[in-house]
Structure 1
Amino acid sequence: MQLRDLAREFVRQGHELTVLLPDADLVQPWALEDFDGARVLRLRSPRTKDIAYWRRTFGEWLMPYAMWRNLRRSPLSEQSWDAIVWYSPSIFHGPLVRALKRQSGGKGYLIVRDIFPEWALDIGLLRRGPAYLFLKWTALRQYGQADIIGVQSPGNLGYFRKWNQARKGRLLEVLPNWLDRPANARCQIRIEETPLAGRKVFVYAGNMGMAQGMDILLDLADRMTTRADIGFLFVGRGNDARRLRESAAARGLANVFFHDEIEPDQISDLCVQCDAGLLALDHRHKSHNIPGKFLTYIQNGLPVLANVNPGNDIANLIRSENVGEVCETNSLDELVRRCVALIDRLDEDPLLSDRCINLFERHFSVSRIVQQLVSALG
């Protein structure tokens, strides 16, 4: 969704844009199409979604080479570009970017949204060993192709300090997450037709994986079963989605409803039907993260209930802007207290929704982000 919004805004600001996308479902080597004024070239590549971790890693390692090979077969094989902007994750784009920069000669801007494999090491998904060292080498290889790196939060600048000092002319800056203005598509989820009808609804919309540490949200819902006026809606996909569904069913949580991932353009209409947004990050993380779902919530006027790792920049942001409640201790008792406090504020603070929207407009609008990218690449 973020790359879609970025592409639309580049076009709106008068830039000619080509988007290269891996596509595991293509039969032919490439497919060229138009998307809202941007030229999109889909390139056949190995599958990397909804498969075992080792197969995903192997597929992502092959991906840049497959994309380059199929780009050379496409009508854009001799195309050159003034600048290359790419997004991490994945950490495996380095070889493709290197080839594109050699052909075009332009600067490269890497948008870093999470610091992998460090976060996987933090939460115990990886151990220090051959796999970690390989992934670390791959990430460093990608960073080496960048002339500019934009991280999503000031707390992440320190991690890239050595990269910034290693070569003259490199630029390191904070590039916040972003979203386009909300779309108006009707959401297929209708709260009034679910078991949550008539309740104040806390919604979680996004990836459900190990990095999110979502078990505590189910624990929260379990503790809140005494409040018949409160419901919890979980929308999305991910490696943990099925397990979380089964856990909720096993506990008999009548105040919880799960739904598969929906189209991004339906998110705004979903938020209109809800009262607050849920955010969770595994408490073992040591890096800083301002997730896209946080932007989705505040853009649509939803205050946030967050359970995040200690010291994360987002905790200070939520508190300083007074747009929700945040727990950094990973304590269920504290999270329950924060939840109850936010429920009370929903009725008592008439400016809460306005503050959320104002925060989004000041810091996270996509027009501001494109201007920053163009300025850095100029």
Structure 2
Amino acid sequence: MKLVLIADTFPPLRTSGAVQLRDLSREFVRQGHELTVLLPSSDLKQPWALEDFGGVRVLRLKAPKTKDIDYIRRTMGEFLMPYAMLRNLHKSPLAKEKWDGVVWYAPSIFHGPIASALKKASECKGYLIIRDIFPEWAVDMGLMGRGLPYRFFRAVANYQYSVADVIGIQTPGNAVYFDHWLQKPARKLEVLQNWLADAPVGPCSIDLAKTSLAGRRVFVYAGNMGVAQGMDILLDLAEHLKARADIGFLFVGRGSDAQKLAASAKARQLDNVVFHDEIDPDEIPGLYAQCDFGLIALHPKHRTHNIPGKFLTYMQSGLPVLANINEGNDLVDLIRDEQVGAVATENSPEVLARMAMALVEGGQNGDEMSRRCKTVYRRLFSPEQAVQQITSAL
């Protein structure tokens, strides 16, 4: 099939979304499909730039800045983004291209206009990949009420949904948000699991043997550190286990709360905690090879269901997880049913501390758990399955 994929993140960015779309794009090509990725770029001096990314055509289109700016300017930039992308697409060599299917990735919720235009021009179907339910999760977190801003974002999201013929959600629990959307005939909602390509263990710029965590059993957190993660409890956990000289905690990444968390660890004099800036995604397997367990945190106010990308990377590397997540999240049952770690919904550092010690003292059971992690990854989270599911739907 000749497909176009619309997104707002892709390498060289290091976000989990960029890594996911990199792996998905490569798999489309590996399975013999012709793929073009359309991306907004605020750094371009010209209207467009066409690149080759391992057999994937990547067309970057000049658009307003939407990253690392205040919320008001970001909202304005994202609202204008699809229109700027369309305008500059018409100036590019791909202006007259026709597609067999349009795929787009959310976040962002603002891709509806460009997805609609490309579908109509090519008279083809569209597949929306949704990885979080916005603005619902922002309301759950108390970041937004149900006033005018919420109604605006909700209208934008609903328009994006209306453009799609098929929507792929992360987990079955998120289906409740699409009951109204499904009332229109010929629409299809399905679970599209997250995916991650196999990655070899290579060199890593972080050498734990040269840090204060040398010789300890290490719990690692690698990824975004923001409001949605509710990571303060992980520092509370580290403080509870401060006396355990055999246990350490490593936090790698960036985000709105990263500096605050690092400052808090320093103020608490947590010598069992090390913070490090984000590293290249290709270094992650080498990092995890030095660690023993993966940490997951989702703010307890969440009501939507989410399987973080980092969970996949932990499974791929055979790291059992210690998770503190919201009650009722589908990830709770997945961890418990597959026996790939320990999960708490009480938001209690005492409970987490007991679970952490049980994991560390698991002995032979830990080896079996590590094997189960890799089995879960191979069975549920391969990009091969994701590509076959998307193309079958289209």
Q: TM-score range by the shorter chain?
A: over 0.9
2:71 aligned with 1:53? yes
1:349 aligns to what SS in structure 2?
helix
2: distance between equivalents of 1:343 and 1:55? Answer: 46
Distance 1:203 1:214, change over 3 A: same
Gaps of 5+ in 1: none
Pairing partner for 1:248 from 241, 265, 273: 265
> Structure 2 CA distance, aligned partners of 1:341 and 1:175?
33
Structure 2 CA distance for aligned equivalents of residues 360 and 226 of structure 1 = 34
Q: Distance in 1 between matches of 2:51 and 2:217?
A: 43
Q: CA deviation at 1:185?
A: 3.9
CA distance in 1, matches of 2:333, 2:224: 23
Q: CA deviation at 1:130?
A: 0.8
The reply to whether residue 315 of structure 1 matches residue 332 of structure 2 is yes
Residue 159 in structure 1 maps to residue 194 in structure 2: no
CA distance in 2, matches of 1:233, 1:135: 36
Q: 1:328 aligns with which of 336, 342, 345?
A: 345
SS at match of 2:158: helix
- The answer to whether 1:199 aligns with 2:216 is yes
Any residues of structure 2 matched to 1:5-24 within 5 Å, and which?
5-24=23-42
Report whether the alignment pairs 1:288 with 2:302.
no
Contact 1:19 1:38 survives alignment (8 Å): yes
The whole-number CA distance in structure 2 between the counterparts of 1:341 and 1:221 is: 15
Further displaced range: 213-222 or 53-62: 53-62
Distance 1:48 1:248 in 2: 31
**1:290 aligns to what SS in structure 2?**
coil
Cα deviations by residue, 1:125-155 (Å, 9 ceiling, x for unpaired): 1011111111111100111110000101011
Give 1:256's aligned amino acid. Answer: V
Match of 1:140 in 2: 158
Q: 2:225 aligns with which of 208, 231, 245?
A: 208
What amino acid does structure 1 have at the position aligned with 2:281?
P
Matched, 1:261 2:278: yes
Letter of the structure 2 residue corresponding to residue 254 of structure 1 = D
CA contact (8 A) 2:218 2:291 kept: yes
> Once the two structures are superposed, what CA deviation does each residue of 1:21-60 show, in whole Å capped at 9, x if it has no partner?
1112222211101111110001111222222222222211
- Which residue of 1 is the match for residue 388 of structure 2? 371
**% identical aligned pairs:** 61
CA distance in 1 between counterparts of 2:341 and 2:202 reads 27
- Is 1:224 the equivalent of 2:241? yes
**Alpha-carbon contact 1:2-1:178 (below 8 Å) kept:** yes
- Give the Å deviation of 1:183: 3.8
Q: Distance in 1 between matches of 2:237 and 2:309?
A: 22
Distance 1:34 1:322 in 2: 42
Give the letter aligned to residue 255 of structure 2: G
The residue that corresponds to 2:22 in the other structure is 4
CA distance in 2, matches of 1:138, 1:102: 19
SS at match of 1:289: coil
CA distance in structure 1 between the partners assigned to 2:331 and 2:102 by the alignment: 29
RMSD, aligned CA: 1.1
Give the partner amino acid of 2:75.
T
1:183 and 1:266 in contact (8 A); partners too: no
Pick aligned residue for 2:48 from 18, 23, 30: 30
Any idea what the Cα deviations from partners look like across 1:317-362, whole Å, max 9, x if unmatched? 1011000000011112111111111111255432111100000111
Q: TM-score, normalized by length of structure 1? A: 0.97
CA contact (8 A) 2:67 2:74 kept: yes
Number of aligned residue pairs = 376
Give the aligned residue type for 1:265. D
Q: Runs of at least 4 residues of structure 1 off by over 3 A? A: 346-349
- What residue identity is the alignment partner of 2:332? A
Aligned with 2:287 (options 247, 257, 270): 270
Tell me: CA distance 1:238–1:346, structure 2 relative to 1, closer, same or farther (3 Å).
farther
Paired with 2:252 and 2:305, the residues of 1 have a C-alpha distance of: 24
